[in-house]
Structure 1
Amino acid sequence: MAGHGAPALAADGTGARVAIVASSWHTQVMDGLIAGAQAALAEAHVSDVTLVRAPGSFELPILCQAYARRGFDAVIALGVIIRGGTPHFEYVSAAATDGLSRVALDSGVPVGFGLLTCDDEAQALDRAGLEGSKEDKGREAVEAALSAWNVLRTVS
């Protein structure tokens, strides 16, 4: 697991308007990711938070783009794709990842990347921020996006 060596990114989000766009698949994992993101936003003093559910991870980029275009300061993309026996995993993972990168670059709005791409459900649960999980990728996505938002505010 790649959690070792992670930076401490606690960032102030006072005044930020943030959207959480979360996939609907794998309810237990998604509940943990959303809870971690919401807790991190509350701790960062973000009070203007919108939560929207996407049908799946493939739809994350288009929905994140819509919120980025509507004046949100940061968008948090949360989802989980678990490898199966077909190439579906590779196609959806690549499309969602490339799309989220494009949203951030095209809009200039930080996109917190909380999309888990795992070989099995156990790996996803280990990253979901649930009791007993080794990592909290929902929290990490918020911290990264708010840290980037703070840096971008200094660029003129």
Structure 2
Amino acid sequence: MNKTELLKQVIARLEDDLLQAQQAALTAYETATHEENIAENKYDTLGLEASYLATGQARRAAAIRQTLANWKLLVLRAFDPLLGIQLGALIELSDDEDRRQCLFLGPDGAAMKLQQDGQSIQVIGPQAPLGLILIGKTVGDEVTLHVASGVQLLEILSVD
């Protein structure tokens, strides 16, 4: 798998999300400020509700913009066993039933699934429960993840 291509996919998805959030904020703002939505009495709250929505969408767009900026600053490096897993790592894990999963560890705020070469890759951040326990680990290490259904033991098979 190619980490550079994965990074491009994450950035493209975040750019799409940002565009959608900006358009949603603009639509809500236009609704809130439209002359037909001026309150005629205290029960006429469409304009007020639209202004709350516009504010929320603007905050969402700002959060996505920050996440996008962080991902654009991500420098992809080769895995260094002395440092262990760091941001930008592509990790393959296996559970006790030999089910495998691939993870791409990057800055927070971009949890998503990507496809590359017919394989599914989960993008996670360092604040995700699994991200927290993987930082600093290396190939062959086993980690324990506490999930709602119990405890899951995972082995790190490879890191790029």
TM-score between both structures, scaled by the size of structure 2? 0.24
Asked which structure has the greater RCO (Cα within 8 Å, sep 6+), the reply is 1
TM-score normalised by L of structure 1? 0.25
Whose strand proportion is higher, 1 or 2? 2
Q: Which has the larger radius of gyration?
A: 2
Of Structure 1 and Structure 2, the greater helix share is in: 1
